[in-house]
Structure 1
């Protein structure tokens, strides 16, 4: 028996995918900004390539998107928008592979980084390679959407890598064909067979030797190392405090109330406090950490004045924000901004914010 979305491990979903979905909704006449805010997500935060959205919020957004758009095939539509660079280090590693087979090996190993709870396993049968896709948790309404986006996205990925749709590629889907699929069948460039016992990509073994157009051995090695590091970090970030933090990071309005975060995660206020205490954390500590990191980012990368930053971070005024920032870092926001500019690091990768001891 599989765990449900509310009881299983929540590794989150990359925020950028929900941003893409929101843009897609806009093109078909849905007020995506209003929908995001109703779910409690900050549209601006979803554009980050580093943040992940809690699974309950992602599921609620997708479910409402399908209902309000009247389009159950949103996953197929999204698959067309999934360009390889949007997949972070995994996308870079795949793009710089030597062959299609090398790229699929990376997808098999690191898919969890981009699509939590989906697992790919390879099986060879005669002249065919079967890449079986399974899900170890009941994702509810999110499951069909994710499976559509992943499988049909791989068709697009193959074309991006090799320059054309991979000859002989086909898709197998479990269960009966959904009614909405007939509207898409003519636009999908590979055969799709429903009623199979597994969800799978089936590729002729000979096609796995197809060269990738963007091969770069040095970039492939460095990006694969990044994938390994990210996979280890994701595993370490599987605790309850990280689940709470994900909700805080993408919440609108900011900062969210404890009761709202607890409701999002399907626990009581008391349980949330207890479970954070068990991990030597507190809700206020997590809020303050997110506030500090967002404050530092705004000071480094925007021209917003202190009053505007204070408002964005949920402070009553600039004075309260300044006192909190100085307490956290030992320096004032203005000094921090001036030091950053003087050091000439404004265009470099953001450093970890120093926290006063």
Structure 2
């Protein structure tokens, strides 16, 4: 039996997915900003492709999104927004593969980068390749949404790779056809067979040799190596301090209180402190790491005043921010900004 999300390693979910859902909600007249902040997520931080959100917060936001939008087929709408570049290095590697079969191999190997709790098993019976999609955790009431988003986004991305829907392919779905599906039938370019014994995509084996229209062997090699590095980094970041840092990184308001982070991670404050201490970390040190990273980015990439940056980072005033930054870097914020601009001009 699959475990519950809070009882397994939380590798997080790419924040850009939640940003995509938020944009869909806004288009439907839903207050996406309010919905995100209600679950403690900073809407601005979700625009970054390098940020990951804890699964507990992602699950809470998606649940509220389905309810507030009144759209049970929201997963299919999300699937329609999934463009390959949104998938990061995984999407680039798939786009630059030589054939559809190679692109599928890339997806299966590196899926954890984008959907860490979803597993895809591949079986070949000679005439067809069956990609069965399942979960390592109990998805509960979100199973329908997640399977809609996962399966139909794969269908759409297959179309992006080839320029046409994969000839002869079909989608299998467990359970009865939901009432909402007929409203979205035109969005799915392949036949969908409900009441199957699994959630899967079935592809004629002869189609696996179909060339990818974006194929670039050199770019494929580079992006696959990036995927390997990202997968190693994600595995290394599976520890408890990384889980805490992910919550801190995307929190609204910032910085979050220790008790709020503990609640999101389903532990007591005492347990959170103890587990961090066991791994030679502390809550305050993680907050400071995030603050420093964000401070550097704001000084380097924006024209915000020191007072504005101090406010974003949760300091009472620019003087407090300046003292903290000098303690971390031995430079004043102004000196750091000037140095970065000089480097930029030189390059």
How many Å separate the matches in 2 of 1:187 and 1:161? 17
- Displacement of 1:267 in angstroms is 1.1
The answer for the alignment partner of 1:244 in structure 2 is: 244
The answer for the alignment partner of 1:7 in structure 2 is: 7
- Displacement of 1:180 in angstroms is 2.0
- Displacement of 1:143 in angstroms is 3.0
| TM-score of the aligned structures, taking structure 2 as reference length | 0.98
The answer for the alignment partner of 2:264 in structure 1 is: 264
Q: Which moved further from structure 2: 139-148 or 75-84?
A: 139-148
The answer for the alignment partner of 1:114 in structure 2 is: 114
RMSD across aligned positions (CA): 1.2
Structure 1 SS opposite 2:203: strand
Q: Which moved further from structure 2: 41-50 or 132-141?
A: 132-141
Q: Decide whether the 8 Å contact of 1:5 with 1:140 is kept in 2.
A: no
Within 5 Å, give how 1:100-249 maps onto structure 2.
100-249=100-249
The answer for the alignment partner of 2:49 in structure 1 is: 49
> How many residue pairs end up in the alignment?
347
Measured against aligned partners, the alpha-carbon deviations of 1:196-242 in whole angstroms (never above 9, x if no partner) come to 22211100011111111111111000000000011111111111111
Could you tell me which runs of 5 or more consecutive residues in structure 1 were left unpaired when the two chains were aligned: 349-357
The answer for the alignment partner of 2:298 in structure 1 is: 298
Structure 1 SS opposite 2:97: coil
How many Å separate the matches in 1 of 2:196 and 2:210? 27
Measured against aligned partners, the alpha-carbon deviations of 1:308-341 in whole angstroms (never above 9, x if no partner) come to 0000000000000000000001111111000111
- Displacement of 1:299 in angstroms is 0.3
Could you tell me which runs of 5 or more consecutive residues in structure 2 were left unpaired when the two chains were aligned: none
Q: Which moved further from structure 2: 47-56 or 192-201?
A: 192-201
How many Å separate the matches in 2 of 1:251 and 1:144? 27
Q: Decide whether the 8 Å contact of 1:122 with 1:132 is kept in 2.
A: yes
1:281 aligns with 2:281: yes
Measured against aligned partners, the alpha-carbon deviations of 1:12-63 in whole angstroms (never above 9, x if no partner) come to 0000000000001111111101111111110000000000000000000000
- Displacement of 1:144 in angstroms is 2.4
1:334 aligns with 2:341: no
The answer for the alignment partner of 1:353 in structure 2 is: none
Q: Decide whether the 8 Å contact of 1:90 with 1:223 is kept in 2.
A: yes
Q: Decide whether the 8 Å contact of 1:59 with 1:141 is kept in 2.
A: no
Structure 2 SS opposite 1:189: coil
How many Å separate the matches in 2 of 1:246 and 1:141? 24
Structure 1 SS opposite 2:226: helix
Measured against aligned partners, the alpha-carbon deviations of 1:83-113 in whole angstroms (never above 9, x if no partner) come to 1001000010011111111101100101110
| TM-score of the aligned structures, taking structure 1 as reference length | 0.95
Return closer, same or farther for 1:142/1:10 CA change in 2, 3 Å cut-off.
farther
Structure 2 SS opposite 1:211: coil
- Displacement of 1:160 in angstroms is 0.6
Within 5 Å, give how 1:49-88 maps onto structure 2.
49-88=49-88
Measured against aligned partners, the alpha-carbon deviations of 1:139-188 in whole angstroms (never above 9, x if no partner) come to 33333222211110111111111111111111111222222222222432
Q: Decide whether the 8 Å contact of 1:93 with 1:220 is kept in 2.
A: yes
How many Å separate the matches in 1 of 2:140 and 2:319? 46
- Displacement of 1:345 in angstroms is 6.6
Structure 1 SS opposite 2:335: helix
How many Å separate the matches in 2 of 1:106 and 1:180? 32
